[in-house]
Chains A and B, each alone.
Chain A
């Protein structure tokens, strides 16, 4: 029997699970024991289990649900403990998993606990002399390796996302039976104490969507002068951006860098403060509709692309602009 470990979060099935089922069907196709079981772990997994069962996928004999409060949030200890006892009960010949971040986290531990071979990130399978050989990438995909796991079964195999197609799972007419399995899981033995899933508080800046950008260059002289530009940006409701030296020095984060090694932007208004206009910067912003340049050096190449240019000291000009803009 082949055991497929499904992946779900908050009761929603990860699509990569279907890809793994497709891989399992391909493996089952050539073997004497064609049976497949799908295990789903978690708490309140009824919907996901139903979805798995409804497909009635060919050769799948059972959807095994392990529902436990301690499995509500994923922990490697919890998953490994449950899967270890599942493997002991079901004695599968292979355990297949989608190569997700979660799998990557616990599969090596499970393999070590079981003392069984693990083949990861498999792209395809082939048969060589009756044996199944798993093909996986090496050296960032420059090479592929043919791996044939050795030693006692079950062998653990994880499949690269997209290597198999979920929509090619052979479905059947009648749904697969769902079987609940109870396992003894000692919550105290789970060493990890997961926090609620982290959600990024604020999306990182997306300069490419900004309508107005105030960009600073070396003319700003020091990090302590950044408020000069920040005030102008606030007055214009603009995003703050910078040329490479500013981000390189760490005065602003790298995602605010405009240019060939940063973002490419096309705002309606681009105000360049103290930016000389090296070609590397220009390629990142020359699509702006209106470019305003302020620079002390009248020969600065920035003036060649600017629609409006002011030759002068930004520390005099910018505060004057801010006070005009904020006049009520």
Chain B
């Protein structure tokens, strides 16, 4: 008989949204007295924070409400933002924006490591008596009709052939009155629930980007701690959404990365290659020269904003954080919204459990709280901005300015087109120039080397957690798109290998950094990301 556990509230995902939900709920229990709720948090990483990756600049507004004495409690927020700079890069030069656009002003914010921040938050959560199960992925939803009644964790100890190894442990059924899905961008459970209940009906489809980030240790005089730099332009063309970021921490620690919209047209485009070009730009290169790569990682981001957020409640379930898409792509921030959505979901779930009604009708109060509070206040006015960038950088910038003045007005809602549908076939791009850059192994690296620096580990002897209908790969994809999975994956998971005369797709699943890009960007939508054995994945120390 598999082990089973019953809790009042189950939270899937120990990121900023999930942990904020857990902490808020524990606080509510304490404040109102009575029977404390049984709360459990599932986290697929071996330890709290290990799969956390963000820039990151933290707007502390939600933190202040959740943990008012966060400084006394030792929150790792020691680098206040000092100076903001925005540049447009040309192939060899840079033009500084004369003023920092208001959404990119970070006065009063902190440069943080989300990995350390979440580790700290996890400590607070556990101190409140919440059970945090690290190393246990949410494998599948337990449903009764349209109601979510819990989650089954992924099993351990299954070999490549699907047979039980000596270490086999079946998944654990965790049944809950309310399940809060905080499974992150393109969360595997949220995706299933959204499809099954049609939670995206009447909303725009979500739009995504991929962020690739490295942590560097450089001579400390290169950039003053607290400096925040954002770049536009090179190496992207005007038609592409994206840009670079460089955040300076004390002691010569630099966090730099590159974000690219997952709606680019050229199937030969490679986000990792764009990141390398960004690093080879004279301006960036000068910062890194003589320094050392410390960590590498990648993660998708939900960029679509307000109009792409699905219905976030169902019978017995709520969706929070990146899983729902609570991110402000204009301010390049989502941690505070993830935390806020977690807190509001906790308040909703707490009352619902207390009153014994966890139906969708009751949990709809979460939506009300989102609409009445700071989340809508922040996201609604910029609801069309990312969509405007779909028409190119200049249109996007022009509309962004317009939206600031008008509160986001436009005659009709701007449409989102799913990014994978925008990819053009090779035949439609006859004149493209292929000139993939070659890594110098000092400043720039190939993907395989980069993966090593992500600390990623999976047990090799387990079934692939990337379910691919591979018959598409050689039959039509090679001809139509040139197998773009090889390029959009930042971790070299996908490789077309020539065996004798035929090519076959080799899936190096153990390289996977859990960024979800393949699940999002594959043009035929034949890749499904499911959770690997618990504990596997990157180790984003300090990211």
Contact = CB atoms under 8 A, between A and B. Distances in A.
Given A143-B131, A278-B448, A280-B448, A222 B136 contact: no
B128 interface: no
Nearest to A257: B460
A140 interface: yes
Contacts of B133: 139, 142
Interface string A222-259: 10000000000000000000001101110000100100
Interface in A96-153: 138-140, 142-143
B462 to A, nearest CB: 11
Given A257-B460, A279-B448, A280-B452, A245 B3 contact: no
Contact of B169 (A140, A218, A249): A140
B510 interface: yes
A174 interface: no
A222 B172 contact: no
Nearest to B449: A279
A279 B452 CA distance: 7
Nearest to B500: A222
Interface string B451-470: 11000011011000000000
Given A140-B169, A222-B499, A261 B452 contact: no
A260 interface: yes
B478 interface: no
B500 A261 contact: no
Contacts of A138: 3
B421 interface: no
B508 interface: yes
A101 B451 CA distance: 39
Interface in B502-519: 506, 508, 510
A279 B441 CA distance: 11
Contacts of B457: 260-261
Contacts, number: 50
A230 B382 CA distance: 64
Contact of B441 (A140, A245, A262, A301): A301
Interface residues of A, number: 22
A244 B5 CA distance: 39
Contacts of A247: 460
B3 A139 contact: yes
Contacts of B508: 244-245, 248
Contacts of B506: 245, 248-249
Nearest to A301: B441
A248 B463 CA distance: 11
Contacts of A257: 460
Contacts of B131: 142-143
B460 A261 contact: yes
A42 B225 CA distance: 73
A280 B456 CA distance: 11
B448 A139 contact: no
Nearest to A140: B169
B320 to A, nearest CB: 23
Nearest to B509: A248
A262 B133 CA distance: 27
A218 B448 CA distance: 15
A260 B454 CA distance: 13
Nearest to A138: B3
B510 A139 contact: no
Interface in B1-45: 3, 5
A160 B460 CA distance: 29
A261 B510 contact: yes
Contacts of B499: 222
Interface centre among B5, B133, B460, B506 (most CB of A within 10 A): B460
B508 to A, nearest CB: 7
Interface in B131-151: 131, 133-136
Contacts of B448: 278-280
Interface of B: 3, 5, 131, 133-136, 156, 169, 172, 441, 448-449, 451-452, 457-458, 460-461, 497, 499-500, 506, 508, 510
24 contacts: A138-B3, A139-B136, A140-B156, A142-B133, A143-B131, A222-B499, A244-B510, A245-B506, A247-B460, A248-B508, A249-B506, A254-B461, A260-B457, A261-B458, A261-B510, A278-B452, A279-B448, A279-B449, A279-B452, A280-B448, A280-B451, A280-B452, A283-B452, A301-B441
